[in-house]
Every structure is written in structure tokens, then in C-alpha cells.
Chain A
Amino acid sequence: MSRAKLVAIAVAGLSLAGPTLAGESPFGYVYTTDTHPRGDRELEQWLTRRHGQSRGHYDLWQGRTEIEYGITDRLQTSLYLNYDHVSALHNRADGTTGPGAFVPDAVDPDGRYRRTFFQSFSSEWIYRVLSPYKDPIGLALYIEPTWGPDERELETKLILQKNFLEDRLVWAANLTAAAEKERFHGDWEREGELELTTGVAYQFAPRWHAGLEYRHHRGYEGRGFSSGKRAYAVNLIGPSVHYAARKWWLTATFLTQIANAKAYNDEAREDIIGGRFYGEHHERSELRVKLGFAF
């Protein structure tokens, strides 16, 4: 499937949308405790461009088409489809093409590698325990199993939200723990991830939020999160903007990797160039655009 077809699928997904919405986050990466009211349905389309490795050309386009549904006023579920397109040329530190995340071993080291593929299905569940509009702080619990031909993952999040200035200023933070099994170069490998994701967004005009998001991401090898299994730590930061119309909303966030990545084993050390980590699905920058419609 070509990139044009991938975009066509995304556009087709959008064209199914009907009217109105609620419960969206003003952030591209940070989840808030807002959930859909009972019976609300929403279609979301995400497109993330992960751009640039240590040299040459590298683009990973990640698409996600999602349907969300409010089971109760506190419990929300969603089902989504993840699909990708990768394009790489001379992206490795030694000037060759691949291998790496989504680029297999046997590619031509001097040729451009392109592939479009289905990655996985995910089922997401969010339960809001405390509301930031009624309680001192908002609190929600998140669990998301993912299944794909080369990937199995269980991701959990603790979501916190505190609003200020009559709810115009939103602060949210997520503590994420994920255990995954990934087929890498033909073998299944166990990995773990811990992440602190946080952001602030200010509603500077009706319908408009501007914000700043930060991610501290740690990767672990094998099962568990002991310090001996820690492989790398990466930091990303960048601005976000959110617009909510009556019938739809749009959020865009641009994150850039800060040149202070840390490696804790020799393999990860090889993937740090110029202070940035380029292994395990990490790039120089990420641009995420999300569109939501109720139907």
C-alpha cells in the first residue's frame, strides 16, 4: 500500500464523520481525565510524522483511526486501528539504509526503503475516578491492550488533571507503564516502557488552546522495570495548539527530542548520536495532528 493510499484511508475515515463532540484533550500526547458522556460516540483520526534519524532521510508516518464511546459518564472505551508508512534512505549513523525499527535487516544499504503496513489493533478503556471540575484534582485510570502481527502490548496510565483560572488553564500529567512483546528481526523480544507525559494548555480565546507538552520516556529490556534492565532515557518537548468547533476539533503538537538522551547499555549507546537516541522507534522530531468528530 502506498503512502497515497494510506492518506486516502485516513481521508475516507474522516468523511464518515457526522456532527458534534465532547471530552477531547487540548493536547496531542497528554491524556486528560475528560471522558465522553454516556452514549456519546466520536471518530478520531490521528496522523503522526516521526522525522529524522542521525543522518540521511527517515520518515515514519503513523496513522490511527479510532472510535470512542461513552459507556457511562465515567467509563469510556475505544477501538482503534494502527497503520504505518516508513521511508528510509541512508538513515543509519554509518550512512547506510536501515536496519532498525520498521526497517528489516536485508534491505539494500544504498537504496531507499519504503513500506506501508498494518501495525495493530488496540482497545482502550478509561475510567474517571475524580473530576477536575468538582474534586480537588481529576484522576482517571487507563488500560489498553494492543495486538498486532509483530506486536503485543499492555499499556496502563494514571491520568491526573488540575485546572486553574476558571478552567482556562489545564495542567495534566500521565504516568505510563507498558509491557510489550515485539517481533524484531524474526525473534520475539520483551520490552518495557515507562513514561511521564505532562503539559499545560491555556484557553486564550473561545475555542482555542495553546500549550506546551513534555515527555520523559524510558525503555527497558526484558520483563520488569528494575534499574538493571533500563536501556535508555529520552526527553521530548514542544508546543501544541487545539481548536474546537461545534462539529469537530483539531489538535496539533510538534515535539523535538532534546539532545540529552541517556543510554544504559552498549547497544543503546550505539544509537545515541549528537545527544539524541535513534533506536527503538525514536526520531529527531514528531508532529502529531488529531481530528475528532462525533457521529
Chain B
Amino acid sequence: MAAPVVLSIPAAHATVYLSVEQAQQAIFPGARFEAFEHRGRERIWQATPGGWFIADEVLGKHELITYAIGIDTQGRVRGVEILEYRESHGGEVRDAKWRAQFIGKTSAEPLALDRDIRNISGATLSCRHITDGIKRLLKLYEASLAHR
């Protein structure tokens, strides 16, 4: 699906929680990473000994949220990290318990709020967009990375 047109205006006040390197080591401790050339906006690394690390952005209510997922060699989510969060509300998506719901999920699962992913009241928009984003990255993995 084509992405809607949104101008890129730098955020005045991004809160950086993790760098890409820190997020990579949080999900794949001790692994080495090699950047993977990709035409889309997502940033992709292949992990050694195995797995993929993908960083992407979704829109919160007003600002972009930078997040990353690790996918194991079986196509299952190994971890989700929030790298940068700029919104005044909805920061509860950084909660480890909420992020842990995604571990083990594959592209075959619904990944929908109030179905297999619990919503956080007051942070619905961030929950929805991150959930949709993770689903999209799993589809991307299935289409472009799984058979490499």
C-alpha cells in the first residue's frame, strides 16, 4: 500500500531512548550486524549467527515514533524496542510488558488491538500504529528476507 504523503519536518524535541546499536544488542546480545541494502524507508540489518533487525518509523498522534524489531530465523518476533518517542502522550508503549506481547508472533497472526494485542487506554493511537507497523515489517520479512 502506498504511504500517505507527509512532509518531513524535524522534531524539535525527540527523546532518544536507545541507539540502533543498543537496540540490536538488547534483542540479539553478542551478535554482529551487517547492513542490508533495501529500497524502502526501513533500515535492515542481518544478524550473525542468525536473524534480522529492522528499524522503522510510524506516526503517533502528532510525531514519528522510531521503533525496531528483531526477527529470528523462524520468522518469529524476538524483541521490540522503542528507539525515539516524541509524543507528549502514549509513552506507555515503552512498557516492557506491552512490548513482550509481540514476542513469538509471526506474519500469520492477526496482530490486532483487542484481539491478540492488548491496548493501553490513553495510548490507543500509539499502540495501534506500532502494532500495524510490526505487522507490516513481518510481511516485509516474509516477502523479501525469509528465503535469503
Contact = CB atoms under 8 A, between A and B. Distances in A.
Interface of A: 19-22, 37-38, 40, 73, 131, 133-134, 165-169, 203-208, 244-247, 294
Given A133-B125, A203-B6, A207-B62, 11 more contacts: A21-B88, A37-B89, A131-B124, A134-B128, A166-B132, A168-B6, A205-B6, A206-B6, A206-B59, A208-B9, A246-B12
B96 interface: no
Given A20-B88, A22-B88, A246-B86, A167 B122 contact: no
B132 A244 contact: no
A20 B59 contact: no
A214 B35 CA distance: 50
Contact of B121 (A38, A167, A203): A38
Interface in B103-148: 113-114, 119, 121-125, 128-129, 132
Contacts of B9: 205-208
B62 A206 contact: yes
A22 B124 contact: no
A205 B63 CA distance: 9
B17 to A, nearest CB: 16
Given A206-B59, A206-B64, A207-B62, A73 B121 contact: yes
B11 A206 contact: yes
A156 B61 CA distance: 27
A246 B122 contact: no
B3, B13, B58, B89, most chain A CB atoms within 10 A: B89
A33 to B, nearest CB: 11
Nearest to B113: A134
Contacts of B128: 133-134, 167
B113 A246 contact: no
B5 A204 contact: yes
Given A133-B124, A166-B129, A204 B113 contact: no
Given A22-B61, A73-B121, A205-B7, A134 B89 contact: no
B19 interface: no
A-B pairs, 8 with minimum CB distance: A37-B122, A205-B7, A165-B4, A73-B121, A22-B89, A20-B88, A244-B62, A205-B9
A241 to B, nearest CB: 14
17 contacts: A19-B88, A20-B89, A22-B61, A22-B122, A37-B122, A38-B122, A133-B124, A134-B114, A134-B124, A166-B4, A166-B59, A203-B6, A205-B6, A205-B9, A206-B62, A206-B86, A245-B12
Nearest to A206: B63
Contacts of A37: 89, 121-123
Contacts of B124: 131, 133-134
A246 B90 CA distance: 12
A207 B9 CA distance: 9
B113 to A, nearest CB: 5
